[in-house]
Amino acid sequence: MTACGAVGVNTRVEDGYLPRPITEDAELIRNFWVYTWIAALLVGALVLALSFWCWAMYRKKKGDETLPEQLQYNIPLEILYTIVPILALAALFFWNNKVAATAMGTETEPDNVVNVVGKQWSWDFNYTSENVHEAGTQAQLTGRPAAEQQLPELWIPVNERTEFQLTARDVNHSFWVPEFLKKLDMIPGRVNTFQVTPTEEGEFIGKCAELCGSYHAQMLFRLKVVSREEFDAHMKDLEKRGQTGTLGNDVNREPIAPADRDELTTTGSNE
C-alpha cells in the first residue's frame, strides 16, 4: 500500500479507468474525461483513415514520370484546418471551465462543515457544525488487513452537501479521496475549501497527495459515508468520549493525551 497506488480502488472501462465516482460532481468529471477521450479517439481515427486513404490512392504508380498536381496553397483548405482545431480547443476549454466551476464551487450553502487539518503524518477532523473532533495518529502499515481498521475516520452523511475547510499544522499536504476525483492542497496559514455531495454509502481510503516527509505514505484515513442517523450517532459518540470543541491551528501536532485534551481544546480559533 502506498500513497500513490490505488488502494482498494477498482477501475472500469466505462469510467475511463478512473476510480468509480461516489459524488455528484465526480460523475461530471468522469463524464468530461470519458467524452474527451471519445472525441480525441474519433479525431485520431479520422486523421489516420484520411492519411491511409491518401497514401493508398495517391501513391506513385508504375509509369508515373511527372509530379502530380501541387495543392499546397489551397486557401479554403488552410482556413478549414485552422478553424477546426480552434473550434475543438474552444469546446474543450468551455466544458473544462464549466465542469471545474461546478466541481470546485463553494457558493452553495453546505448542510455540514468539516475542518480537516493535515499534520505529519496524519489528520485531525473538526466537525464544526457539531462542535466535536477526532485527532488521528499516523497509520502503522503492517501489511496485514487489520492495519486499515486503525486509521483515523472521517464520517460524512450521504446525499448531503459537506464542505471541507482544509488547512495544515506544519508543511503542505493534500486532501485526497480518489473516488471524489478531485483533491486540494492543505497549506499552513491558509484555508482551502471544497464541497462534495456523496451519492452512496460506503468506506473509502483517503490519503495525502503532497509529498510531505518520511511517512507521507502512511498519512491515510478512512472515509465513512453513512446515513444521517449513523452520522448523528457517531457525533454523540465523539461527544461521549470527551472530544468536544475543535482543535485549533495552535495545537501541537503530536498525538493528544486524554489528560491534556481539555487544555488544548479550543473553540472557534479556526478562520
What are the residues binding Cu ion (CB under 5 A)? 173, 208, 212, 219
- Please identify, using beta-carbon distances, which residue of 117 and 212 lies nearer to Cu ion: 212
Q: Write the secondary structure of the chain as one string of H (helix), E (strand) and C (coil).
A: CCCCCCCCCCECHHHCCCECCCEHHHHHHHHHHHHHHHHHHHHHHHHHHHHHHHHHHCCCCCCCCCCCCCCCCCHHHHHHHHHHHHHHHHHHHHHHHHHHHHHHCCCCCCCEEEEEEEECCEEEEEECCCCEEEECCCCCCCCCHHHHHHCCEEEEECCCCEEEEEEECCCCEEEEEHHHCEEEEECCCCCEEEEECECCCEEEEEEECCCCCCCHHHCEEEEEEECHHHHHHHHHHHHHCCCECECCCCCCCCCCCHHHHHHHCECCCCC
**Is the Cβ of residue 27 or residue 170 nearer to Cu ion in the bound state?**
170
Cα distances (angstroms) measured from residue 51 to each of 54, 62, 72, 99, 103: 5, 21, 16, 34, 39
Closest approach of Cu ion to the CB of residue 126, in Å: 18
Q: How far is the CB of 136 from Cu ion (least distance, A)?
A: 12
- When the beta carbons of 28 and 114 are compared against Cu ion, the nearer one is 114
- Least separation in angstroms between residue 209's CB and Cu ion is 8
Nearer to Cu ion, 20 or 119 (CB): 119
Please state the closest distance from residue 2 (CB atom) to Cu ion, in A.
Answer: 13
- Is the CB of 28 or the CB of 208 nearer to Cu ion? 208
Min dist. Cβ of residue 191 to Cu ion (A): 17
Q: Which is nearer to Cu ion, 30 or 173 (CB)?
A: 173
Min dist. Cβ of residue 32 to Cu ion (A): 28
